[in-house]
Structure 1
């Protein structure tokens, strides 16, 4: 009887250890705080836990694992298994993705931004680019066109942007420079302090970020329709960690991407954008709307030269830049006529 009990105890311990070994925990590096921009990752974590009965969990950290500009570096060395980053923060680290940050690319909706990003992420050149960082692209964080919140006198025409110090990254920065503004690249978490201290006079963000990072708290004006472009911010996984997942856990993760993006787009459209107008009204922020003639002149001055400069720069690096640009613009044209 004692031998039987001993064997039973050993078996129970073995089963317990086996169950513990089956559990998977991934660390996920984000920044700021939970907001519309991170709802794709939050929903992904929820779905993965549900599908695996809690055996696979994504532990989301807002700034506790890495600085936002170093998330791709952390992924490359396996410091954590998943992260979000913005291509414009470090265009040299992910040059192929920056084609989606070109000014006046022409994306009109979050649905288009989502589909275009996912299509480009499948391009072999893009996958090779991210493979240098041991990263696998999982999904984008689609954002609407950026616009400016600012202090001081509001710009009434494009000429009024001359000398304006504005936080603007990537292609948006190039667009602002073309109308005489002085673009400054800084991470989202630095912007509010820079505005309040007078380091910059305006900031380009999507609406959710203006609310989340407090740029509207002391702002005087908002451009409703400048729409120079947006920033592309993927969620990536460490490739080794992804390949090491048990098959059922990997399936749970990858099969949840579309649903996580559905949730993200629905939340941004129906919650974030619904809150944006009232947030401006409550603070007495003036809406600045430019006429079509000014917008057309802005686009004409910026779009073509920026695209050509990007193609020349990336081609000099040995990348198939023209192919990537044609792929992106061609895919976008398809999406618009579906």
Structure 2
């Protein structure tokens, strides 16, 4: 074989070799957590791998953690609605009053665990939330693992111990509850909390176990007050993963089917389960540091629940005055929680 013939055969072989195909659709996925957070490692990355595999490589994600597309966390929902991002993962409560339908799940002593509550939340959205989220195509709604009280100034053994404390509260509803408990609620982004805690700007905070070590709060906290785990927890927060509606509708039917098959109630439940699984290891980190843990139960817990009932009653009155079927919303949420495992 001549050198010329060998060269020609080599070129033919190269041309015949299939080249890696670029994805037909690249989805820009934005969120506010750091890349190492469980939200990206345990949820977004596996989800993106699944839709890539299910689409035979025609659709993939490009992740933008830590607000890399610009803006602030409260602007994420609008970024999805406007097409700045194709998909965002955010907290509806960051824009207080914009999504009244789902706030009912943030009322005190509603959620016992994140997985079953997330199932109930998706079913609830399908009945009451479509109007609030009409500007986007929802992929998942979920809640965090149960939230508790974490303090430095003193241990919380009863309702009187809360009075006078400066407490960082994460939601509009927890702000109302801790005001009613006699504390001074303080609102601030979670990344600002370690400095505020170390300088005594706040005496404590309301947070889920999963979130505590994410900013090393277990190293700055002495006391952790849980509630009886056989009962619904003090609080949780609602999260939403939503897609730009035009982007979703522009996909070929088979790629829309891939999105549909990897969103909805089962995806929502799986996100809740990831939070439930992350809670115990985070709790163990506080134990290993020698922090003091105690649990409210019996009459002490009943006193907190009584305040929570009043907060829920006030929420129903407030939402009813704004024209929402608030009592039906509340009763439906409770019924769905019972149906899905509470």
Partner of 1:315: 320
Q: RMSD across aligned C-alpha pairs, in angstroms? A: 2.4
Partner of 2:45: 42
The one of 92, 112, 117 aligned to 1:113: 117
For residues 240-259 of structure 1, what are the structure 2 equivalents within 5 Å? 240-257=246-263
Partner of 1:282: 288
- Where 1:140 maps in the other structure, the secondary structure is strand
Instruction: Measure how far apart 1:251 and its partner are.
Output: 1.4
- Where 1:57 maps in the other structure, the secondary structure is strand
For residues 210-229 of structure 1, what are the structure 2 equivalents within 5 Å? 210-225=212-227, 227-229=233-235
Q: Does 1:85 align with 2:90?
A: yes
The one of 205, 211, 214 aligned to 1:209: 211
Q: Does 1:181 align with 2:183?
A: yes
Instruction: Measure how far apart 1:98 and its partner are.
Output: 0.5
Q: Does 1:154 align with 2:155?
A: yes
Partner of 2:138: 137
Contact 1:89 1:187 in 2 (8 A): no
The one of 187, 192, 195 aligned to 1:193: 195
Instruction: Measure how far apart 1:283 and its partner are.
Output: 1.7
Instruction: Measure how far apart 1:184 and its partner are.
Output: 2.2
- Where 1:216 maps in the other structure, the secondary structure is helix
- Where 1:289 maps in the other structure, the secondary structure is strand
Contact 1:151 1:219 in 2 (8 A): yes
Q: Sort the Cα spacing of 1:324 and 1:260 in 2 relative to 1 into closer, same or farther, 3 A.
A: closer
- Where 2:101 maps in the other structure, the secondary structure is helix
Q: Does 1:72 align with 2:77?
A: yes
The TM-score, its normalising length taken from structure 1, stands at 0.85
The one of 327, 333, 338 aligned to 1:333: 338
In 2, the alpha carbon distance for the partners of 1:224 and 1:53 equals 46
Structure (1 or 2) with the greater helix fraction: 1
Q: Sort the Cα spacing of 1:259 and 1:42 in 2 relative to 1 into closer, same or farther, 3 A.
A: farther
In 1, the alpha carbon distance for the partners of 2:45 and 2:242 equals 14
Contact 1:149 1:223 in 2 (8 A): yes
- Where 1:116 maps in the other structure, the secondary structure is helix
Partner of 1:6: none
The TM-score, its normalising length taken from structure 2, stands at 0.84
Partner of 2:311: 306
Unaligned runs of 5+ in 1: 1-11
Q: How many residues align?
A: 315
Show structure 1 runs of 4+ deviating over 3 A. 258-270
Q: Sort the Cα spacing of 1:72 and 1:223 in 2 relative to 1 into closer, same or farther, 3 A.
A: same
Contact 1:156 1:290 in 2 (8 A): yes
In 1, the alpha carbon distance for the partners of 2:97 and 2:269 equals 30
In 2, the alpha carbon distance for the partners of 1:295 and 1:225 equals 7
Instruction: Measure how far apart 1:218 and its partner are.
Output: 1.2
Instruction: Measure how far apart 1:36 and its partner are.
Output: 2.8
Instruction: Measure how far apart 1:261 and its partner are.
Output: 4.6
In 2, the alpha carbon distance for the partners of 1:32 and 1:239 equals 23
In 1, the alpha carbon distance for the partners of 2:269 and 2:95 equals 28
- Where 1:153 maps in the other structure, the secondary structure is coil
Contact 1:167 1:186 in 2 (8 A): yes
Q: Sort the Cα spacing of 1:299 and 1:108 in 2 relative to 1 into closer, same or farther, 3 A.
A: same
Instruction: Measure how far apart 1:137 and its partner are.
Output: 2.0
For residues 230-249 of structure 1, what are the structure 2 equivalents within 5 Å? 230-249=236-255
Contact 1:162 1:181 in 2 (8 A): yes
Contact 2:117 2:340 in 1 (8 A): no
